[in-house]
Chain A
Amino acid sequence: MTPKVCLVIRDFGIFNRAWTQILRNLGIDYTLCISTSTTTSATIQTPQGVFAAGSADLRGYFRQFDAVILCDHSLNLNDTARINYSVFWLSWNAPEDPAFLFFNPHFSTAITESAYNSNFPSDFPIVRPDPSDIAGTLEAADGGSATNGDPLIQTQTRARGACVLFLAENILAHVQTICNAHINNTPYYWRLNTAKHSTLASATYTHRVARNGRAGEILAVPAPPTSSEDTETYPSDCVVAYRYRNCFWLPHALARSSFSVNLWDVTVQPFVFWLLYGLQLAGVRPRYKLPVQVETDHPLQATGTGAPYNHGIATQMGILAPSWDYMRDFARRTGTAIINGVVVGTKYRDTATTYHWHSLYSTSRSQAERDAAMRVHQILVAGHREGTTPCGVHDHTIGGGRGYWGAATNTGFVRHSGMRYGAPNNVPIARGRCCVAPHVLPAGVAGADAQTVQVGDTELVEWDIPTSGTGNTFDLPMGSIHAARVIIESEIEEMLALGFPDGYCAGHRYTNTAANNSGGECYWQALKEFGFRGVRSSSNCTGINIKRVPPNRIWQGFHLVGDEAVDNCGSGAVFSRGLYLPSAPAGGDAVRFYQLDHGSDISANWATGQVAAWRAYRRLLCQTTSIWLHGTVVELSSAYFHPNQSLMCVSLADPVAPFEGWSRLGPYGTPHYNHAVELLENMDAVVRLLPEYLYWGTITDVMDHRERVMG
Chain B
Amino acid sequence: MPVRFLKNASELADVSWETPLPVQVANAKPVPADTLLVATTTVTADANRDLLGSTSTELPTLDGCMQYRKLVWFYFRAGADSTTYRILARATDHNGAPLGAGWQEIVPATTLPGAANSWNRIEIPATTDGYYDQYRIEVQRTSGSNYPLTSKIVGVR
Chain A interface (Cβ < 8 Å from any Cβ of B): 287, 431, 433-437, 439-445, 457-458, 460, 464, 708
Contact = CB atoms under 8 A, between A and B. Distances in A.
A476 to B, nearest CB: 18
A435 B64 CA distance: 16
Given A287-B18, A436-B36, A437-B35, 6 more contacts: A433-B53, A435-B37, A436-B52, A436-B62, A441-B62, A458-B34
A440 B35 contact: no
A445 B39 CA distance: 13
7 contacts: A431-B38, A435-B37, A439-B64, A441-B62, A442-B62, A445-B54, A457-B31
A458 B134 CA distance: 20
A438 to B, nearest CB: 9
Contacts of A442: 59-63, 134
Contacts of B146: none
B22 to A, nearest CB: 13
Contacts of B52: 434, 436, 445
Contacts of A708: 18
A458 B31 CA distance: 12
B64 A445 contact: no
Contacts, number: 52
Contact of A437 (B37, B40, B60): B37
Nearest to A434: B39
B63 A441 contact: yes
A483 to B, nearest CB: 16
Interface in B132-155: 134, 155
Nearest to B40: A433
- Listed from nearest, the 6 A-B pairs whose CB atoms lie closest are A442-B63, A435-B38, A442-B60, A440-B62, A434-B39, A437-B36
B146 to A, nearest CB: 14
Contact of A440 (B39, B40, B64): B64
A457 B59 CA distance: 27
Q: Which range holds the interface residue count of chain B? A: 20 to 34
B124 interface: no
B43 interface: no
Dominant SS at the A interface? loop
Interface in B32-52: 34-40, 52
A445 B59 contact: yes
B39 A435 contact: yes
Contacts of B64: 439-440
A429 to B, nearest CB: 15
A436 B34 CA distance: 11
B98 to A, nearest CB: 11
A441 B36 CA distance: 9
B87 interface: no
Nearest to A433: B40
B35 A460 contact: yes
A458 B40 contact: no
B102 to A, nearest CB: 16
Nearest to B52: A434
B89 interface: no
Interface in B3-43: 18, 31, 34-40
A36 to B, nearest CB: 34
Most buried by B among A435, A442, A444, A457: A442
B91 interface: no
A445 B52 CA distance: 8
B63 to A, nearest CB: 4
Contacts of A287: 18
A535 B83 CA distance: 45
A444 B36 contact: no
A287 B62 CA distance: 53
B151 to A, nearest CB: 10
Interface string B56-93: 00011111110000000000000000000000000000
Contacts of A440: 36-37, 62-65, 155
Contacts of A445: 52, 54, 59-60
A708 B62 CA distance: 42
B35 A433 contact: no
Nearest to A463: B52
A186 B36 CA distance: 61
A445 B61 CA distance: 8
Contacts of A431: 38
Contacts of A460: 35, 38
Nearest to B30: A457
Given A439-B64, A440-B62, A433 B39 contact: yes
A458 B155 contact: no
A182 B36 CA distance: 61
Contacts of B65: 440
A433 B149 CA distance: 11
B34 to A, nearest CB: 6
Nearest to A464: B53
A210 to B, nearest CB: 31
Contacts of A439: 64
A437 B38 CA distance: 9
A510 B53 CA distance: 42
A437 B36 CA distance: 5
A79 B34 CA distance: 58
A440 B65 CA distance: 6
Nearest to B155: A440
A582 to B, nearest CB: 53
A436 B65 CA distance: 12
A437 B60 CA distance: 14
Nearest to A431: B38
Contacts of B62: 436, 440-442
Contacts of B31: 457
Contact of B63 (A433, A435, A443, A457): A443
Contacts of A443: 63
Interface string B107-130: 000000000000000000000000
A138 to B, nearest CB: 45
Contacts of B155: 437, 440
B122 to A, nearest CB: 17
Most buried by A among B37, B38, B59, B60: B38
Nearest to A287: B18
Contacts of B34: 437, 458
A440 B133 CA distance: 9
A525 to B, nearest CB: 14
A171 B80 CA distance: 72
A443 B63 CA distance: 8
Contacts of B61: 442
Contacts of A457: 31
A443 B61 CA distance: 10
